[in-house]
């Protein structure tokens, strides 16, 4: 039996499967190539001619003051008592500066002092399409230059967590503050601050550099979307006090200075639907491949065939005794 194999169809199908399998690897190459650029950029060099402007793309903040003025008012009615807590403390400049910031698209550098038992840092408007590399280095002040640079904590958090962070700072002298550690980790984001994407916490460091890029603008709204959409500013925090996290570093017990350098570079950002398109297309092709092969083989050999095959039977019939011609008579 002669059957024509659909070699061309099989080659096309194999090529399509190969492209769908290799596509996720090819799509990840821009990110892999950009990592090399981030490593080169970690030399903390920046373009001072095109640096971002204060209070236009970047603003500062600091948390200072002693929250030790606590007033307890006891009420013996009903056998209980009522506590009226008044946290007396002052805050540094720009802490309530919620002015609009332009998207950060250029490099930036800043140096400032961080006092003991305080926190300082930068408020930023990070935007998609850019990769941001942060270089943070601490130094001892002139009065204590014989000491090594102190080990402190660095955090990148969103505005939502910034409100919790401020509350944590106000309550830092509360004796029952350790009770917050009893909250399970999966529930802490409801009542406790968390670093951005749960990973941008760098604790017990004298210097660190890290990179971050956004897939979309960080915005937030109220429950069920009824509240107005609010931009989630980013806060880069230099933490010089003992916050609520178990893994943080205690206060250094001395003032120190810090250098912060932010380097920006263009980044290719693929739309989010490309993941579903590639994965979904691969899944569909895996299902469709057996069906296509089966239908191709079913139709193979059906039809008149090519010109060179005219008159050729696909399955030659065997002659029987009844149809054989009689033998010649001698």
**pLDDT tens digits for range 115-128:** 999 999 999 999 99
**Does 107 share its domain with 198?**
yes
**Does 20 share its domain with 115?**
no
**Does 58 share its domain with 116?**
yes
**Does 305 share its domain with 161?**
no
Residue 330: inside a domain: no
**Does 165 share its domain with 275?**
no
Range of the domain at 307: 1-41+271-317
Residue 326: inside a domain: no
Which pLDDT score is estimated for 83? Answer: 36
The structure's pTM equals: 0.66
Q: Which helix (H) or strand (E) holds 204?
A: strand 201-205
Contact call for residues 196 and 158 (beta carbons, < 8 A): yes
**Does 64 share its domain with 17?**
no
**Does 136 share its domain with 152?**
yes
Q: How many domains does the chain have?
A: 2
Residue 151: inside a domain: yes
The three-point CA angle 50-119-212 to 5° equals 45
Which pLDDT score is estimated for 152? Answer: 96
Per-residue pLDDT reduced to its tens digit, 131-150: 999 999 999 987 676 789 99
Residue 20: inside a domain: yes
**Does 181 share its domain with 278?**
no
Residue 59: inside a domain: yes
């Amino acid at each position: 039996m002669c059957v024509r194999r659909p070699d061309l169809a099989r080659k096309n199908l194999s090529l399509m499967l190969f492209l769908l399998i290799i596509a996720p690897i090819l799509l990840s190459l821009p990110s892999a190539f950009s990592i090399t650029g981030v490593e080169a950029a970690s030399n903390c060099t920046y373009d001072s001619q095109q640096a971002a402007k204060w209070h236009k793309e970047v603003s500062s903040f600091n948390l200072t003051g002693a929250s030790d003025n606590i007033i307890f008012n006891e009420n013996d009615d009903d056998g209980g008592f009522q506590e009226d807590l008044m946290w007396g403390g002052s805050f540094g400049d720009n802490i309530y500066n919620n002015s609009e910031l332009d998207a950060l698209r250029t490099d930036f550098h800043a140096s400032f002092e961080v006092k003991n038992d305080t926190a300082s840092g930068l408020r930023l408007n990070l935007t998609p399409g850019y990769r941001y590399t942060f270089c943070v280095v601490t130094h001892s002040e002139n009065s204590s230059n014989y000491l090594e640079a102190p080990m402190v904590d660095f955090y990148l958090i969103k505005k939502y967590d910034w409100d919790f962070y401020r509350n944590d700072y106000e309550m830092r002298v509360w004796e029952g503050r350790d009770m917050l550690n009893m909250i399970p980790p999966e529930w802490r984001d409801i009542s406790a601050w968390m670093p951005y994407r749960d990973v941008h916490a760098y604790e017990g460091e004298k210097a660190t550099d890290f990179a971050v890029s956004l897939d979309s603008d960080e915005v937030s709204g109220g429950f069920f979307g009824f509240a107005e959409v609010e931009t989630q500013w980013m806060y880069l925090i230099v933490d010089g006090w003992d916050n609520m996290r178990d893994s943080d570093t205690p206060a250094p017990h001395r003032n120190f200075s810090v250098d912060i350098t932010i380097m920006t570079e263009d980044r290719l950002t693929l739309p989010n639907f490309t993941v579903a398109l590639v994965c979904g297309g691969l899944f569909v092709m895996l299902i469709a491949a057996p069906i296509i092969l089966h239908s191709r083989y079913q139709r193979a050999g059906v039809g008149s065939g090519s010109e060179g095959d005219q008159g050729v039977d696909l399955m030659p019939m065997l002659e029987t005794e009844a149809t054989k011609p009689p033998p010649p008579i001698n």
